[in-house]
Each structure stands twice: as structure tokens, then as C-alpha cells.
Amino acid sequence: MKKSIFAVIIIAIIFGGMFFLRQKNSSQDEIIKTPPAPTLVKVKTAKDSKSLKEITEYPAIISSDSEATLSAKNSGIVVSANIDLGKFASKGQNLVKIDDMGSNLTLGKNNFESVQVQQLEIALKQAKKSEDLADENYDDDKNESTKIARDIAKLQVKNAELSLLSAIDSRNIASPIAGQITEKFVSVGDLVSFGQPLAKITNTSLIKFQFYVEKEKLADLKIGQSLEILSDEQENIPAKIIRISPSADPATKRFLIEAKPNQKITSPIGTILTAKIEIERKPGKESSFILPIPAVIISQNENYIFIAENEKARKINVSIEKIIGETAEIKADLAPEDKIILEGNKFLAQDSLIKIEE
């Protein structure tokens, strides 16, 4: 009886093992027979690859063609300073007043404590008295002597007026141009010396943008070319290139580009924005095409691209004419309707299954 039971168990184990192996082989066959998933790709027709728009962005700083620095014309203390950043000043407007420190307890006729200014005020007053006396003498006795005395008195008044005006002007610092105050170097109560910078004024009507480009990009730029300045404070600003530097910066080896905005700028001088340039590249030959460099597989033995054909990748050998920036000009035997694979091509091979991304 025991032998019969043992035989039944052995038979059951054998049949169970055979069933397991059959199921395992069946699963492996299903795995082998399952086709690989198609690679998702992006394409562009050969016809549309006759040109390529390339967008490049550069940091651009707002500057001006006209700037002026206010400097002290005398030593002393700053008693008033109308030079708040961003404020607009008209040409000839007095912005900073400099006086002597504690020279007198009282102000003179022109509101200065300066000993020099007050002495010149007294000298002018005395010159005018002398002029009045000379006029009276000439009116009483019109002769050559009284006439000369009168003329001398008038000349002395003019000299005294000029001396006083010069002393006042050296203490009232006026704006030499109309513009915006973009830098402030002193405040009320500061001691200043002759020639010390007080503030910087920029003519905002002559605003421009400055940015630098690599030598390879110069061929794509020309005077009058349009571009955009990207700003967070206002809508994108249209601008045109007005200058391309003929020489590179010694340190960076890059070339200065200047562009003029087509509208008013709200951002202050010195603000860094972004210059956006769109360039359309076209091939030099009718049989050539312009592609982004990643679309071309470059190896030691051959250069090639893939095109999409009947949901499969087909390899096409190409010759590279030239490379400019991030683009390659290639020569290939392509029909206008051929779909060139631009993205998703790195792991493709001949007849790889693909799916075009819509």
C-alpha cells in the first residue's frame, strides 16, 4: 500500500514539473515574439529644412551715449543735494550746494556762510556806491576827467559782479545736461574737496543696449537688424542694431554690439536685461539642407541622418558642408517630402521602429 502511494506522489511530481516547464517555455516564447516598442521621434520635412531659425539670447545692459559727472568746484560741506536716484534734472538746474563749514553765524545776501562770498558781496556793494558817486560827479561837471572816473567805476561794478557770480557758481553745482540721476556719491553734511564726484547724470533720450557676442556670430549680424529686449517690467522691447565693434574685447575676446530701442524704456540705466536675436540660416547650395547639429550622427567613418519611412528609420549618408554655431549645413540625396528625424535619433538603427510625435 505504501509503495502504491509513493508511486502516485512521484508521478504527480513529474507531471507537475512538466507542466511548469511547458508554461515557462510558453512565457519565454511570448516575450521573444513581443516586438520592441517604437521610439518616439520628432521630424521635419526636407523641404522645410531649406532654412532654420535660430534664437540666441545675450545679457544686455542699459547705457547711454550722453553722461555727465557732477564734480565739486570748491571744498566745503554739502548743505543741499537734490540728487535722488532716478530723479530727472533739466540742463542748468542747481542740484548741489557747497558752503564753508561754520565760517559765519549769519548768512550773506546770497544765503552763504562763506567768508569769500560775503566779502565779494560787500565789494560789489561798495563798487555800486562808487559808481553812483561817479555818476553824480559826471552829471555836475561833464568833462574828460569825470567821464573816465565814471567809466572806471562802471567797470569795477562789472568785475565785482563777475567775481561774486563765479564764487556762487563754484558752490551751486548745476546739471550740464538734461537727464536722469543714475549715481549718487554724496549726501547733505558730507565734506567734499575740489574735483570730488558728486553725482552722475544720464541723458535718457539717448538710451541704448550693450551686449557682447562671439566672433562666430558676427557674420549673422548687421547694422539695422531687428532684435528684441526681454524685460520683466514691460512688454518685450523692439530694437535695432546701431553699432558692431570692429575689434574684440581684449579680456573676453568677444565683440560689443549696441542696439537702440524703438520705444521709451522704464528700467533705469545699468539694468541688465536680455537681448533676443532670431536668425534665419539658409544653405549655400540648392542641394544642401540646414539642420540642428544633434540631428546629424557624426562618426569617424561616416556622417548620416535618419528619415522616417513607413514607421521605420532609414539611414541616409550625408556630407557636412560646414558647421555654424548649433547648426550644420549638409548635402544629401533627399526628396522634398522626406521626413528628417531631428530628435530621438541617438539610439536608432536601420529599420528601427519609430513613432512620429505629433
pLDDT digits (tens, 9 = 90+) for 82-99: 999 888 899 999 999 999
Q: What is the pLDDT of residue 17?
A: 58
Q: What is the pLDDT of residue 101?
A: 73
| Average pLDDT value for residue range 248-276 | 90
8 vs 16, higher pLDDT: 16
Nearest C-alpha neighbor of 272 from the set 63, 84, 56: 63
Q: What are phi and psi of 135, to 5 degrees?
A: -65, -40
Q: How far apart are CA 180 and CA 24, in angstroms?
A: 83
Q: How far apart are CA 229 and CA 238, in angstroms?
A: 6
Q: What is the pLDDT of residue 142?
A: 85
Q: What is the pLDDT of residue 12?
A: 59
| Average pLDDT value for residue range 160-172 | 91
pLDDT of 141 strictly over 60? yes
pLDDT of 32 strictly over 60? no
| Average pLDDT value for residue range 305-329 | 91
Calculate what percentage of the chain has a pLDDT beyond 90.
54
Q: What is the pLDDT of residue 225?
A: 95
Q: How far apart are CA 232 and CA 228, in angstroms?
A: 13
Q: pLDDT per residue over 36-71, tens digit each?
A: 889 999 999 999 999 888 888 999 999 887 888 999
251 vs 107, higher pLDDT: 251
For 93, the grid coordinates are 538746474
> What is the pLDDT of the chain when averaged over all its residues?
86
| Average pLDDT value for residue range 200-223 | 88
Q: What is the pLDDT of residue 102?
A: 63
Distances (CA, A) of 34 to 25, 81, 190, 326, 350: 14, 83, 85, 39, 19
Q: Are strands 39-45 and 354-356 parallel, antiparallel or unpaired?
A: parallel
Q: What is the pLDDT of residue 232?
A: 76
Query: Is residue 345 within 8 Å of 297, Cβ to Cβ?
Result: yes
pLDDT band at 279 (very low <50, low <70, confident <90, very high): confident
Nearest C-alpha neighbor of 294 from the set 357, 341, 356: 341
Predicted TM-score of the model (pTM): 0.56
| Average pLDDT value for residue range 266-280 | 87
Distances (CA, A) of 236 to 155, 182, 205, 275: 62, 23, 19, 10
Sequence-separated (6 or more) residues with CB below 8 Å from residue 267:
62, 231, 233, 234, 273
Instruction: Give the least confident one: 45-49, 141-145, 157-161, 288-292.
Output: 141-145
Sequence-separated (6 or more) residues with CB below 8 Å from residue 123:
160, 163, 164
Q: Are strands 272-281 and 52-64 parallel, antiparallel or unpaired?
A: antiparallel
182 vs 26, higher pLDDT: 182
Taken in order of first residue, the domains within the chain and their CATH numbers are 39-51+284-356 (2.40.420.20), 56-65+206-281 (2.40.30.170), 67-201 (2.40.50.100)
Instruction: Give the least confident one: 103-117, 310-324, 327-341.
Output: 103-117
| Average pLDDT value for residue range 272-277 | 94
Instruction: Give the least confident one: 93-102, 192-201, 340-349.
Output: 93-102
